[in-house]
Amino acid sequence: MNGHAYSIEIDQVSKRFGHGSEATLALDTVSLNIRTNEFFTLLGPSGCGKTTLLRMIAGFEEPTSGDIRLDGVSLTGRLPFQRPVNTVFQSYALFPHLTVEENVAFGLEMLGRDRAAVREAVTRMLALVKLSDYARRRPHQLSGGQQQRVALARALAPHPKVLLLDESLSALDLKLRKDMQVELKRLQRETGITFVFVTHDQEEALTMSDRIAVMGGGKLQQVGSPEEIYDRPVNRFVADFIGETSFLTAEARGSALEFGAAGRLAEGALGTTAQGPVALAARPERLRLSEDGGLTGVVSEVVYRGADTLYLVTLADGQNCRVRHTNRLGARERAVTGDRVRIAAEPGAFQLLTGEAGHA
Amino acid sequence: MPSIENRLWRFHGVAPTAWLAFVYLYLPIVILVVLSFNANKVATLWTGFSFDWYLRVLENDNILRATRNSLVVATGATVVSTFFATLAALAMASGPFRGKGVMNAMLGLPLLVPEIVTAVASLLFFLALGLELGLTTVLIAHIVFCLPFAYLPIRARLEGLDPRLAEAAADLYASRWQAFRRVTLPLILPGVVSGAMLAFIVSLDDFVITFFVAGAGATTLPVYIFGLIRMGITPEVNAISALLLMVSIAFVVLSYRVGRRPS
Ligand SMILES: Nc1ncnc2c1ncn2[C@@H]1O[C@H](COP(=O)(O)OP(=O)(O)OP(=O)(O)O)[C@@H](O)[C@H]1O
Ligand SMILES: [Mg+2]
């Protein structure tokens, strides 16, 4: 081990495909630092450049500009087979003409390890992904979930410094997917390998990651822990992409938020000390219907969802707001459509969105 | 499993038509093989069973020489054309480059050019270069016209290959050569083998081009048979043809078995 704090440094990386009028800017000056043995997730909608970034770390694409460093050393110009980085492909890309154990042994053999070492590692890897009984099978004789575990074992066997996983769980059914999520976290802890995981499933990202990078339109939107991303989204894109959010505008005055005709929330509803017109985001579970709430409105819809109920409220100033309550056994509905209600907020429930003007 | 679909596909008269077609295709060949065992010197008059003509073929120095020429040319043309066809197919699969479409069309075009045109062109070309006609010119000409036959099956196989597999190999520390040896080649091998066998059969069987560019002493089997026929059909011709047929069938069976190997 060397003393570098960061496993991977992505430094002002841009990637452009094509030329002239057909050019697409897949990545726009992205800078990211991924720590050693971190479970790091790239999260974003389809086409935002996640796969492109992963392929540049693996060496299948070169950045148009910028630099990628591994343990402080630039990877520029190094071909995929010269990088201690392995990929679990979205489509698995198992070698169809080789058996499961030959697939898993491939990387080690290419590295020139001796037979005994290869055998030992393959046995250990197959046990790890619980496929010891399938060693002699061909990939086409396995289920999708089993193939995916072979792909994982194959990528882990050479013990890379970094493991890249591109939407590796997306093909699995819910049950298997939950199992694999737990399995991946365990592998990451036990092997000490840095995991860079790509997904467009926010729940998967929130449950598995040490840190998440939210990407949108080829740009990095926010990097942080799951709590930071969920509780303190920095802009509308992140707030909108992750979880449920109400977007509101208000006037911050002192420590209060004024919503015009809808009323005002005193004391600390906004986490920061900004003043003047502000753009805000609020999670529905941080708000509640309450007699002593500072905001007034009318319930426009009630959505029962098993574990909780969502109330859509039109505030007196015309803005729309969502409030969520956990359902208790035997408890009555708090309100029905058309009821006049008051809304209260937890301290810090409102998150200031940057880069946007307050009032329209 | 009788399904609605295959009942819809059933037409009256398909079976008799099929039989008629098979008879039309194979009866002449059956007759040829039967007559090759005819004891009579007049090829078309059956008098009794005999292996004589086969023995005669095997004792005939001219036939043996022609056979050797044919095998030498076919083997050489197969090896060389398959090698270049593989390289060409790999280049065509390596990604977009300028003129790729034109190149692909040009590789397949010789299949559409009338053989007589290729024959005359080859002859003129060799004469213009001042090459002496012989086995070498035959070999060169065969390499050229075998190329598209070898190329197409390899290309088809490569087209069906997931480009992620080569990336996966590179990701797992295989150098370019190792990735080719361990992943790409085994996966396209059925295509390479069937391309090679096609090339071999096409070369072994060629008459028109060979006839034009073969000098004295470079007679191949089809050219020799043509020479014999001009003096009348003998059971000897039937015997050689039957032997050629056996080689062809052997190749077809082999090619079929290789083609059925799972990818
Ligand atoms: N080889 C390529 N040539 C041209 N454009 C490309 C290429 N690869 C990716 N792109 C473009 O770059 C952008 C980012 O693609 P990328 O595959 O990285 O998205 P993604 O975030 O992985 O999406 P998804 O979640 O759908 O997999 C897209 O607009 C895509 O069309
Ligand atoms: Mg992708």
Residue A126's nearest CA partner among A102, A109, A161, A107 is A102
**pLDDT attached to residue B263:** 47
**Least confident residue range of A18-32, A135-149, A174-188, B63-77:** A174-188
Q: Nearest by CB to B168, from A85, A89, A97: name it.
A: A89
Which residues does chain A have within 8 Å of residue B161's beta carbon, measured at their own beta carbons?
Answer: none
Q: Nearest by CB to B171, from A86, A91, A96: name it.
A: A86
Closest atom, ligand 1, to C-alpha of A61: 1
CA A46 / ligand 2 centre spacing (Å): 7
DSSP-assigned beta bridge partners for residue A195: A39, A163
- Is a pLDDT exceeding 80 seen at residue A338? yes
B211 or A266: which carries more pLDDT confidence? B211
Record the pTM.
Answer: 0.80
Show me where the domains of chain A are located: 6-234, 244-352
* Domain covering A6-234, topology: Rossmann fold (3.40.50)
**Partner B contacted by A60 (CB < 8 A):** yes
Contact (CB<8Å) B171/A79: no
CA A208 / ligand 1 centre spacing (Å): 24
Contact (CB<8Å) B173/A111: yes
φ, ψ for residue A181, nearest 5 deg: -60, -45
- Is a pLDDT exceeding 50 seen at residue A354? yes
The tens place of each residue's pLDDT in chain B, 263 residues long, gives 555 566 667 778 888 899 999 999 999 999 888 888 888 877 677 888 888 888 888 888 988 999 999 999 999 999 999 999 999 999 988 877 888 888 888 888 888 899 999 999 999 999 999 988 999 999 999 999 999 999 999 999 999 899 999 999 999 999 999 999 999 999 999 999 989 998 999 999 899 999 999 987 789 999 999 988 888 777 888 888 898 888 888 887 887 777 665 54
Show me where the domains of chain B are located: 4-35, 52-259
Q: What is the dihedral sign for C-alpha B158, B161, B166, B172?
A: negative
> How confident is the model over A116-134, as pLDDT tens digits?
999 999 999 999 888 999 9
**pLDDT attached to residue A357:** 46
**Partner A contacted by B94 (CB < 8 A):** no
Indicate whether residue A16 lines ligand 1 (CB < 6 A). Answer: no
**pLDDT attached to residue B228:** 86
**Partner A contacted by B170 (CB < 8 A):** yes
The one-letter amino acid at B25: L
Tokens 């480009």 belong to residue: B163
A43 or A4: which carries more pLDDT confidence? A43
Distances (CA, A) of A232 to A224, A247, A280, A299, B220: 9, 14, 11, 27, 84
SS (H, E, C) chain A: CCCCCEEEEEEEEEEEECCHHHCEEEEEEEEEEEECCCEEEEECCCCCCHHHHHHHHHCCCCCCEEEEEECCEECCCCCHHHCCEEEECCCCCCCCCCCHHHHHHHHHHHCCCCHHHHHHHHHHHHHHCCCHHHCCCCHHHCCHHHHHHHHHHHHHCCCCCEEEEECCCCCCCHHHHHHHHHHHHHHHHHHCCEEEEEECCHHHHHHHCCEEEEEECCEEEEEECHHHHHHCCCCHHHHHHCCCCEEEEEEEECCEEECHHHEEECCCCECCCCCEEEEEEECHHHEEECCCCCEEEEEEEEEECCCEEEEEEEECCCCEEEEEEECCCCCCCCCCCCCEEEEEECCCCEEECCCCCCCC
**Least confident residue range of A20-24, A47-51, B73-77:** A20-24
| Long-range contacts, B124-129 (Cβ 8 Å, 24+) | B126/B213
CA A22 / ligand 1 centre spacing (Å): 14
**pLDDT attached to residue B178:** 94
The one-letter amino acid at B196: A
Mutation target to probe the B interface, by most B beta carbons within 10 A, among A17, A89, A162 is A89
Domain B52-259 matching CATH 1.10.3210.10: the answer reads no
> How confident is the model over A64-95, as pLDDT tens digits?
999 999 999 999 889 999 999 999 998 899 99
Average pLDDT, chain A: 89
As a whole number, mean pLDDT of residues A184-204 equals 90
- Residue positions counted in chain A: 360
Complex confidence, ipTM: 0.81
Indicate whether residue A358 lines ligand 1 (CB < 6 A). Answer: no
- Is a pLDDT exceeding 80 seen at residue A268? no
As a whole number, mean pLDDT of residues A39-58 equals 94
Indicate whether residue A47 lines ligand 1 (CB < 6 A). Answer: yes
% of chain A beyond a pLDDT of 70: 97
Indicate whether residue A22 lines ligand 1 (CB < 6 A). Answer: no
**pLDDT attached to residue B260:** 62
**pLDDT attached to residue A26:** 93
User: What is the spatial distance between Cα B28 and Cα A204, in angstroms, rounded to a whole number?
Assistant: 70
CA A163 / ligand 2 centre spacing (Å): 16
User: What is the spatial distance between Cα B253 and Cα A229, in angstroms, rounded to a whole number?
Assistant: 64
DSSP-assigned beta bridge partners for residue A40: A196, A211
Domain A244-352 matching CATH 2.40.50.140: the answer reads yes
Nearest CA-CA distance, residue B220 and chain A, Å: 40
Mutation target to probe the B interface, by most B beta carbons within 10 A, among A51, A83, A110 is A110
Strand order in A256-258's β-sheet? Answer: A264-265, A256-258, A246-253, A276-282, A350-352
Indicate whether residue A17 lines ligand 1 (CB < 6 A). Answer: yes
Q: Nearest by CB to B170, from A80, A91, A154: name it.
A: A80
**Least confident residue range of A101-110, A264-273, B112-121, B154-163:** A264-273
Contact (CB<8Å) B168/A107: no
**Partner A contacted by B58 (CB < 8 A):** no
% of chain A beyond a pLDDT of 90: 60
**pLDDT attached to residue A1:** 46
Residue A183's nearest CA partner among A130, A121, A123, A135 is A130
Nearest CA-CA distance, residue A157 and chain B, Å: 10
CA B193 / ligand 1 centre spacing (Å): 37
